[in-house]
Structure 1
């Protein structure tokens, strides 16, 4: 593709307000112009994440209108005159805002990796599906709470995108994963991906079962992506000096609470974000290489359950938010 062949307009998915699904729009938008140190990437696949719903609902405020998307794979089609580390035609995987679009501009020194020239379309799809959730799983299990062999770990949404990756990594590290799911189908999936114990929240008491499994000692750590509805359960399931990693709002944000509630068991409470663990270039290099190696070696399976055309993002997020899906959902960008 030459500069002359890059179109002036493109198809994007954006939100133009805060609210329900009606603020999601699939429409034309200008192709962005790039600066001296930027790349223009023609996207092939983009991963879908819960954070897009948080933007739409106003949980995380953003400037409107906002093109959605946080991760993608594609090909460099233009570069600024100062860019030395990428060439036109390079295949890339990267994390950025505004990836639910045919074209995204991005810094050549950002969270971006050059992929081998022989990378296939199937691999591009897998990498697009794996970036945010795979790096979340790796960094949180290394840094938010460094999981040790023999640890008992309570994990919510264990059949979701991050959950299925954590199931595998916890097993690899010799920890006991206690996976919380909501259906029998998800029970089987969590077990298939390595969970040692499974709690079906639709018919079992999460706290009671977690304490039974740990002989009333409680778990070493909780990874809670649900938020408001599970906060008290998670707190009560922890052992003395346990670690509470809260990283999602699927049921809504955790309401304010008295810090003194952490004192009785010396609980360590964290609210990490992935980007805090990727702040330095060496962090991105370390974890992205580790993720790609795990995927390419077959040690980490990426469960892509459905691929939607970009125009059907609204349908995709309705299915995701209604908890009808497992694994990862991906958008295919029109070429």
Structure 2
């Protein structure tokens, strides 16, 4: 089968498109022929390598997967269209957690055929294309979990960082459908129009304007009810600064670094809440599918690359020129 393999950490050049042997089926696992797989920042982190995180080489990236079952099991039939819930976890409460295609023993969706636990298989909603369905499993599910953990209600005001990113664009679409008022931040003027089309009421171009002063001015110096921060260390100080008293900062991701410096006095004087949010649950993924059907929401797809052009897809994500999800077409 064709796959994109990494044999060491490094830049996009370590992504090798080649022919490899399929793994042998094992008990309680499903075999999926992958049609599409979305690119995520996790793929970049695993490819680059992170301190304290290990992966066995050779490894195949890709956690946002849609495809077709090669063999049926339980209530699932051979040839049925499915998506793969990305998290493999054990224990209640959770004692171990990994992401398929991430820092995990499971290889991911940058391959024509993959093997995943049967419990991770979810029926693909027929109101989405394969490319759209694969876009939901990580970015949209994470955004959904972040919005739920924000405890916001209709009419509340939120700040969403990075409207052009997968999580950012997802959060805006879902928040708009929930009736929230949305402020968002973009990196250039060229992305302002697209952010407004998503549903943001106020868009700040951080290349020209100070985010803190603009948010406070827009909210009459009250601040926002919640911040959706998936960026990391660089945005934390501003995220806390623009919260209203008692506001919630919901956090996932460390794209700009994992060690943040914050003003502790601002944090406690605002009686602020910092809430961690990771990938949502399998039941949340199913609820997300139903919500998006009800509200007639389609994920934002920036571009689709052939699997052999995975290096180009990674370069596009790393330079931040995308608006929405970057998708790999793995097989027909």
TM over 0.5: yes
Give the alignment's TM-score, normalised by structure 2: 0.86
Map Cα deviations across residues 13-71 of structure 1 (whole Å, 9 max, x no partner): 23222232233222233211122211111111111111111112223723132210002
1:60-99 aligned at under 5 Å gives the runs 61-65=53-57, 66-78=59-71, 83-96=73-86, 97=100, 98-99=108-109
Q: Tell me what 2:325 maps to.
A: 328
Alpha-carbon distance change, 94 to 292 in structure 1, aligned in 2, over 3 angstroms = same
Map Cα deviations across residues 220-255 of structure 1 (whole Å, 9 max, x no partner): 111112212211111211121111112122222233
Give the alignment's TM-score, normalised by structure 1: 0.86
Q: Tell me what 1:6 maps to.
A: none
1:1-335 aligned at under 5 Å gives the runs 10-59=1-50, 61-65=53-57, 66-78=59-71, 83-96=73-86, 97=100, 98-110=108-120, 112-115=121-124, 119=126, 123-142=129-148, 144-255=149-260, 262-274=267-279, 277-278=280-281, 284-285=282-283, 287-297=284-294, 299-335=296-332
Say which is worse superposed, 147-156 or 28-37, in terms of deviation. 28-37
Structure 2 stretches of 5 or more lacking a match? 87-99, 101-107
Map Cα deviations across residues 124-181 of structure 1 (whole Å, 9 max, x no partner): 1210122212211222111x21221222211101122222222122222222100101
Q: Secondary structure at the match of 1:324?
A: coil
RMSD: 2.1
Please give the alpha-carbon distance, in whole angstroms, between the structure 2 residues aligned to 1:196 and 1:267: 24
Q: Secondary structure at the match of 1:211?
A: helix
Contact 1:86 1:108 in 2 (8 A): no
Alpha-carbon distance change, 64 to 36 in structure 1, aligned in 2, over 3 angstroms = closer
Structure 1 stretches of 5 or more lacking a match? 1-9, 279-283
Q: Tell me what 1:5 maps to.
A: none
Please give the alpha-carbon distance, in whole angstroms, between the structure 2 residues aligned to 1:307 and 1:28: 21
Q: How many residues align?
A: 310
Please give the alpha-carbon distance, in whole angstroms, between the structure 2 residues aligned to 1:238 and 1:266: 10
